[in-house]
Structure 1
Amino acid sequence: MLNFNFLTPEILILAQEEGAKSSLQSLIIIPIMLVAMYFLVILPNKKEEKKRKEMITNLQKGDNVVTNSGLHGKIVEFKDNNETVVLSVAANTNVTFETSAILKKKA
């Protein structure tokens, strides 16, 4: 059987103080991690999304583009207030995509 007679009130108080210090440290670390996550993950994604939206707004007929699915094509026309785009992918073959499906503009 275990004997816990060595646990005097002084030792218990010290253990409680140590627990309070570690919980305070945990409360300080959480906001620091959230700020780091914002600068390492969220902010770069916002910048990339802004650049992509700007690229999509500047698309014109005749631009060569790549879609999210990897399809390469040339813009033939825009439809539905630029919500959809018609791409020419081969001779006499046109495919309609949502404008948001365009990943990048080829040089």
Structure 2
Amino acid sequence: MNNTKKNILAELLAEISPIDQAKTDAKMILASRIFKVLKSKKWNNKDFMEAVGQKNPSVITKWLSGTHNFTVDTLVEIEKALDISLLSLENTKVQKVTENTRRIKKSTVRKHL
């Protein structure tokens, strides 16, 4: 690669904010983790598509591209289908949030009675 192309590439890379880079990295890591699990299970895209209840093969291709911005709902569906953890949420934290939500709902109901 000549110096002009290197300089242009360096300038473009310098314009990427750290948060945008972190977002891109996270998307790539998620896609890579999913792909590795599929490979270890000897699943192809069709197997994965059926396991997550998708009808469109292009959705699976997009998920594995490393550019898809997953929703939490989709990640949970993938976790359940592949029997893996992608979100790494600790049960205690999830349980505390659930307990706090229940307390808030109860206190709100009492105020309105």
Instruction: Please identify which structure carries the higher helix content.
Output: 2
TM-score by length of 1: 0.29
Name which structure has the greater RCO, CA cutoff 8 Å, separation 6+. Answer: 2
Instruction: Please identify which structure carries the higher strand content.
Output: 1
